[in-house]
Amino acid sequence: MTDWGIDGLGDWRIGGLADWELADWGIEKTSVEPTNQTNQTNQTNQTNQTNQTNQTNQTNKTNLTGFYPMTTAIIVAAGKGLRMKRCRPKQFLPLAGRPILSSTLAAFNACPQIRRIVLVVPAADFDFCRGHVLPDAVPRVGVCLVAGGLRRQDSVYNGLSAMDDGDPDRVVLIHDGVRPFVTPSLICACIDAAREFGACVPCVSLQDTVKRIGDDDTVVRTLDRGSLRLAQTPQAFHFALIRSAHEQARRDNYLGTDDASLVERLGSPVRMIEGSRTNVKITTAEDLAMAEALAAAGLV
């Protein structure tokens, strides 16, 4: 593992945070002025009111307990991009003036609930990421580079293994590095749902008719698309739950198509929230052309 930039901000207490860090979190730093009046403690903004204890600006802004607990994002970008048929892996191709992966990182950097990013890329591309990807993302949080595995699922497991045990109920997000149009609002919605339900996946409804096809390429039947959804990332989970799901999959030699499917195998419910149609995954040259058109039209 190699750290780049600010290595997180430690734990999530306010103690030791500088003014610029507080501003980054959207928190107004308040001062505590001593008074000679009785029954007045922990009062802010030089109040002269009596018989008021432990009140600070209506919201007790100096207390971060339960405000922004540690949330880590694992960005998976270790693929070779063979379907793109380019000389460089697709996550490093330019889009709107910077690498695709830089745009993805910037979205998570803009979400105030994210405290650390684990970036899983090929080990051979660490130097490229330091020199060309991370500077364009302007990370305000710590970014830990982790070597990817043979398959996506192996890469996610490597990212999970790079995290310390810590609080088992803290939230971890897992996101495809080639979904650069994910929004901070969707990221925050996934975090909130995972905190409440333990697991969350953003989805969008199907617009086309779906057919089940037999081995001889004939239509077996038409599926009811009303109950079908297309899964996206980021997918968010309690850390202990997703780590247990990945460990069980490794023991069973099971390969899933996404991380939520591994949690489903454990019998744990996964909450669906509404995704975004612009949260596209760039896999082929056609996907890249569509992404460039979205960016040029100002739709993302």
Nearest in space to 221 (alpha carbons), one of 231, 230, 229, 211: 211
Helix 184-197, helix 100-109: angle, nearest 10: 60
CATH at 288: 3.90.550.10
Q: Is residue 55 part of a domain?
A: no
Q: Tell me the residue type at 130.
A: R
Is the pLDDT confidence value at 14 over 70? Answer: no
46-55, 165-174, 193-202, range with the lowest pLDDT: 46-55
Q: Is residue 170 part of a domain?
A: yes
Instruction: Quote the radius of gyration of the chain (alpha carbons, Å).
Output: 22
State the residue range of the domain holding 167: 69-200+231-296
- Residue 228 has a pLDDT of 97
pLDDT tens digits along 70-97: 899 999 999 876 666 667 889 999 999 9
Could you tell me the two tokens for 238? 């309690």
> 67, exposed or middle or buried, with CB in 10 Å at 0-12, 13-18, 19+?
middle
Rounded Cα–Cα distance for residues 117 and 172 (Å): 10
pLDDT tens digits along 242-253: 999 999 999 999
Average pLDDT over residues 130-148: 91
Q: Is residue 5 part of a domain?
A: no
pLDDT above 70 coverage of the chain, percent: 75
Rounded Cα–Cα distance for residues 241 and 84 (Å): 34
Q: Is residue 139 part of a domain?
A: yes
Q: Is residue 147 part of a domain?
A: yes
Q: How many domains does the chain have?
A: 1
Rounded Cα–Cα distance for residues 148 and 193 (Å): 28
Q: Is residue 11 part of a domain?
A: no
Q: Is residue 214 part of a domain?
A: no
Q: Is residue 25 part of a domain?
A: no
